[in-house]
Structures are given as structure tokens and as C-alpha cells.
Amino acid sequence: MTLDDLKATAFISQFVRNCLMPLINTIESALDTDLLTEAEKAGHYYFAFDTSELTRGDFASRMNAYAVALQNNIYQLDEIREREDLPPLNFNYIRLGLDSVLLDPKTREIYTPNTGKLEKMNAEHLTDEQIHAILEARGRHWIKGEHGYFAGSVSDGGSGGGAGGGNISESVDMLRKKDRHRDDITPISDERFRQLTIEAEKNGATILRGGEEIEAHLDAVGADAATVGDVILFRQEVTVSEVLEETHHFMQNKNGLNSDKPEPIRTYLNEIEAKQYLLDNAQKYSVPRSETEQTKGHLKHYQKLLAEYKEE
């Protein structure tokens, strides 16, 4: 690419951004206002001009951009081929790890090229390698609050950040703080675990329980259980409070609860609401008194964090 090519590309980009886009935005707004019905507006329909051809760039630049988008699961392969006017390959998988595990987001099936194995994402017999890839794909960094309490987590940008309503994979994660010895817990039966998690599974949650990779991950973040995007992680021995809280966090994310609030306020409010939910339903689910007292302590802590943050 010559210097003249670079100058021409820069000029076109400036022209589109500074001259065309203000006019285009005005026209798009008028079309949305005058031509869409209220139902269509509520259904998130809108008019948009496609300016991609004007800012398309040279072949090498496009390929480099596509490589970054493909590596970070921004585009799928067929989406890139469509942009280049090429026929689809019907290869709809996205990478969950470095060429190790592939996920079909529509069917929620995981394909492992090394073994040729195809299985559902919520299968209880996922390997540690697959679980590790799933966790890595979420790209999360955990935030530790005062006195050892974890206040949630934020995305590193690799998998999409923020707290968009209804978008599970872009939600800030929640966890139940580990602040006592696991020897003191009252674990629930496998049957009761299934009963308490079935509703979350019906709503799209992937439930992963036990195993070396999960136990190591929860140890690393100092948690008894955690919600990582649309995946809920539990230890093999799990309590009723842990299951109730994490499935509730999943539904909070799914419903976009407090998604209009900035972090860390959103996390604090959702943690407070989840703790209050546990206390309100303690009798209904026969929650042991020790777990209820622990929840009360967590509730007071997050209420204090919220109050202190508002005072800053």
C-alpha cells in the first residue's frame, strides 16, 4: 500500500465521518420516526445505511481486521464470508479455546476436534479441558472487595463487557463468598440439586458441578459458587443457599436487572436483592439457620459498600 493509497483512505474515512454521517443520521432518524409503527420500534427495528463499502479499506487491512474479529469471537467465519460476498461454508462454530474446543451458539453443542466428540454444553461429563476453555472464553477478571468479600467481576473486553439487559454473556458476574470451612456445610442431595436448577436450565443456563477445574476456579476466586456469564459453577458438595443465590443471579442477568446502573452500583444492588431474596424464602426452602446467618452478614456488607460508595 503506497503513501497515496493511505492518504486516499484517510480522506475517505474523514469524509464519511465528518460530512456524510451527520446527514445519514438525520435521514435515519426521520425514517425511524415516520415509517416505523410503534410495535416495530418496540421490537428494535430501525433504518440504517450501509457505509461499509465506503470505509472498506484494502484487502490486506480487511483480512487483518477479520483475523482479529475471528480470534475474539466478534464474527463467525460465515459472517466474514458474507461481507466479502463469498458463499457460506455453514461452519457456525466459535472457538472456546486455542483450536481445542468449538461451540455452536445456536445448538449449544461443543465439538472437540482432537477427539471428534460432539456433546451438549450442559453435559455433566465435560472434560476439564472443555470447562477450562469455557471459563477462558468468558474473559473475566474478579474484583475483591474489603475484608475478603468479592464484589463481582468485570470483563476484560475480550468477550464483551457491560451489563446489557437480557444479554447473559455480557453481564457482570456474581458469586457467593467463601468465608467458612466447607466441612461445616449442609450439602443437598443430587435430586434436590436437580429440582433447584431445572428452571435456570430451561432459561438457558449451563450448570457445571464439581470436577477439578471447577473446584480450582472457585478456590482461585474465593467463592463457594459463581455465575460466569450464562454458566453457573457449583462445587460437588453444594448447599441450598448456594444454588438459590446463583440461579437467582443468573435470572437477574437474563432480565437485565439494574442494567441501567454503572458498576459497581449494579453489582451491589443485585447482590443486595439476591441476599434479600434468600432471606425472604429461607423458610420456603428450609434453609439451615447457619446459612441464613451467613446471608445476613453478606447483606449487611453489601449495604455498607453501597452506602460508602454513594458518599464518595
Going by the DSSP 8-state scheme, the letter that residue 187 receives in this structure is: P
Q: In whole angstroms, what is the distance from residue 128 CA to residue 211 CA?
A: 7
Provide DSSP, 254-305. Answer: HHTTTTTSPTTHHHHHHHHHHHHHHHHTTTTTT--HHHHHHHHHHHHHHHHH
Cα distances (Å, whole numbers) of residue 237 to 117, 177, 216? 28, 15, 14
Q: In whole angstroms, what is the distance from residue 194 CA to residue 157 CA?
A: 33
Domain positions in the chain: 1-57, 139-311
The answer to whether 244 and 289 have CB atoms below 8 angstroms apart is no
The structure's pTM equals: 0.52
Q: Could you read off the pLDDT tens digit of each residue along the chain, which spans 312 residues?
A: 455 665 666 777 778 778 888 898 899 999 989 998 888 887 778 888 877 776 666 667 778 888 888 777 677 788 888 877 788 777 665 555 545 566 665 666 666 766 767 666 554 445 666 566 665 554 333 333 443 333 343 333 222 223 333 333 333 445 555 555 566 788 999 999 999 999 998 888 888 888 887 888 788 778 888 887 778 889 999 999 999 999 999 898 888 888 888 888 888 999 999 999 999 999 999 999 999 998 999 999 999 999 998 887
Number of H helices, E strands in the chain: 11, 10
Residue 71, C-alpha cell as written in the block:
480470534
The answer to whether 88 and 82 have CB atoms below 8 angstroms apart is yes
